[in-house]
């Protein structure tokens, strides 16, 4: 029971930190103001950002497993997925011309940037731990 509660609390803290870091990225790139008119539905840039966020999330999961199980292949895959996600998240933010709600995928781009960096760090830690 205590372990489950600790796991749930850790997951909530991780989600709160992720949301905080995404907000910091949006403020730093001056894209935090919502749009005057909201675009609903899936646009090409939202699809791009969503795909990159999913890639980053897969990289984080694989990096965590590689760190726990000392798998070299998982560490390399996590590092590669994190690098691709971080670069593409930065590109989404660079080409965006509005904030959340404009259909540019800025929230997904910021999330991909943050999660991509986390996956890159986890993969690097797993590789460094493997070498020891």
What's the CA gap between 68 and 45, in Å, rounded?
Answer: 35
- What pLDDT shows up at residue 31? 75
Q: What is the DSSP string of 54-92?
A: HHHHHHHHHHHHHHHHT-HHHHHHHHHHHHHHHHHHHHH
pLDDT at 130: 65
pLDDT tops 80 at residue 35: no
Rounded to two decimals, the pTM is: 0.83
Whole-angstrom Cα distance, residue 106 to residue 22?
Answer: 10
Q: Would you state the pLDDT for residue 70?
A: 83
Contact (Cβ atoms closer than 8 angstroms) between residue 88 and residue 110: no
Residue 131 pLDDT grade (very low, low, confident, very high; cuts 50, 70, 90): low
**To the nearest whole percent, how much of the chain has pLDDT over 90?**
42
Over residues 31-40, mean pLDDT: 75
Kindly report, residue by residue over 80-130, the tens digit of the pLDDT: 999 999 999 999 988 888 778 888 888 899 999 999 999 999 999 999 886
User: How far is CA 15 from each of CA 51, 64, 113, 114, rounded to the nearest angstrom?
Assistant: 19, 16, 15, 12
In degrees and rounded to multiples of 5, residue 121 shows phi and psi of -65, -45
pLDDT tens readout for residues 48-89: 999 999 999 999 999 999 988 888 899 999 999 999 999 999
């Amino acid at each position: 029971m205590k372990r489950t509660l600790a796991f749930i609390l850790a997951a909530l803290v991780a989600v709160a930190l992720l949301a905080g870091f995404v907000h910091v990225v949006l403020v730093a790139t001056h894209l935090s103001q919502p749009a005057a008119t909201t675009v609903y539905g899936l646009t090409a840039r939202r699809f791009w950002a969503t795909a990159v966020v999913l890639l980053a999330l897969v990289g984080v999961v694989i990096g965590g497993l590689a760190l726990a199980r000392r798998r070299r292949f998982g560490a390399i895959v996590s590092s590669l997925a994190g690098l691709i996600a971080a670069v593409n998240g930065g590109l989404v933010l660079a080409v965006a011309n509005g904030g959340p709600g404009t259909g540019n995928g800025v929230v997904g781009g910021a999330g991909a940037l943050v999660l991509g960096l986390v996956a890159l760090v986890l993969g690097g830690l797993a590789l460094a731990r493997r070498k020891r």
